[in-house]
Amino acid sequence: MPMTNNLDPAQRFTKTEFVVRKERIQSITKVLFAVMAISMIIPLLLIIGYLFYHALPSLSWEFLVEVPKKGMRDGGIWPAFVGTLYLVVISLAIAAPVGVFAAVYLNEYAKDNWFNRIIHLAVINLAGVPSIVHALFGLGAFVYAAEFGYSILSAALTLAIMTLPVIIASTREALASVPMPFREACWNVGASRWQTIRAVVVPNSISGILTGIILQVSRAAGETAPVMFTGAVFYKAVERGELFPYQLNEQCMALSMHLYTVATQVPNVKESIPYATAVVLLCSVLLVNAGAIALRVWLRNHKKW
C-alpha cells in the first residue's frame, strides 16, 4: 500500500532551518550592498551641494557670457568656456575616427597572434598613463618636434592621444558584443568582410561606440596638465559672447586651467568665482554624459536584436 502523509498541509511547506539561514544571509547581503551604494552616492551629493552653495552668488547668465575683469577678480568665464569647447571638439574629431578604425581592425581583421596581443596590452596600458606624461609627450612631439608651437592644435592633439586608448578599448568591447552568427550569416550569402562590418557589425554596436566616445568629453574637458603644457594661456582678450575668438595656431584659455588660476594665483578674488567656475565645468560634463546616456537608451531601443 502507498504511504500516506499525515502532516498538516501548512506544515508540509514550512521552511527548513537551512532555507531560513540562506534567506537571512541573502537579506543581510542585500542590505550591505544597498548601504555601500548609498555610501558612494551621498559624498557625491554633498560635494555638488557644497559647490552650488558657495557658487550661488556668482552663478548667472552674465557670468557665463562675460569676460574676466579686474585681473580675473570679477567678470565671467566666456573665453575659458569657448576655449574648452575648442579643445574638446577638435580632440574628439581627431581621436574618434582613428580610435574607431583601429578598433575595427584589431577586432575584425587582426589575427590572434603574439604581435596583436602586444598591441592590445599596449592600448590597455596607455589608458592608465598619468596625464602629466601625456603633457610632456605633447610638449616634445607637437610643440617642439612638429613645430606647432603653443597652440590649440598642439593641445587638442595631446588630448586626442590621451583619449585614444580608451576609445579603442570601448569600441572593441562594443564590436565584440555583436554575436558571431550575425557575421557568419552575412559571409554565407556572399558578403565580404568589409560589407559585413559596414552593414551589420557597426550598426549593431553603434550605441556602445558612441557612448564610449562621448564619455571621453569629461576627461578631455577636465584635464589641466596637457593643455597647460601645450596650448592654454593665463589670459586671452576676447569679446563678450564671441563664438569664434581663436585660431588653431593661437593659445586659448581653458576652464580647468582658469579654475586653477583663480583659485591659487589671483589674490583677493571673489570667493564665489572659483566655485562658480567649477560648477560650470561640472554641469557641462554632466550634460554631455546625460546626453550620452539618452543617446545610448534611444539606440538600444532601436536595435534589431
Q: Which mean pLDDT values do the consecutive 10-residue runs of the chain (305 residues) have? A: 52 73 90 91 90 90 88 87 92 91 90 85 85 92 92 93 89 89 87 88 84 80 88 86 87 90 86 91 85 77 65
CB 277, CB 266: distance < 8 Å: no
Q: Give the DSSP H/E element, type plus range, for residue 160.
A: helix 152-176
What is the per-residue pLDDT for 10? 53
Which pLDDT belongs to residue 179? 87
Per-residue confidence (pLDDT) for residue 303, from 0 to 100 = 64
d(CA 64, CA 48): 19
Single pTM value for the model: 0.83
pLDDT the model gives residue 1? 45
CA dist 227 and 251 (Å) reads 10
User: Cα–Cα distance between 121 and 111 in angstroms, integer?
Assistant: 15
Instruction: Give the separation between CA 41 and CA 45, rounded to whole angstroms.
Output: 6
The third-level CATH classification (topology) of the domain covering 70-301 is MetI-like fold (1.10.3720)
Joined grid coordinates for residue 199: 552593414
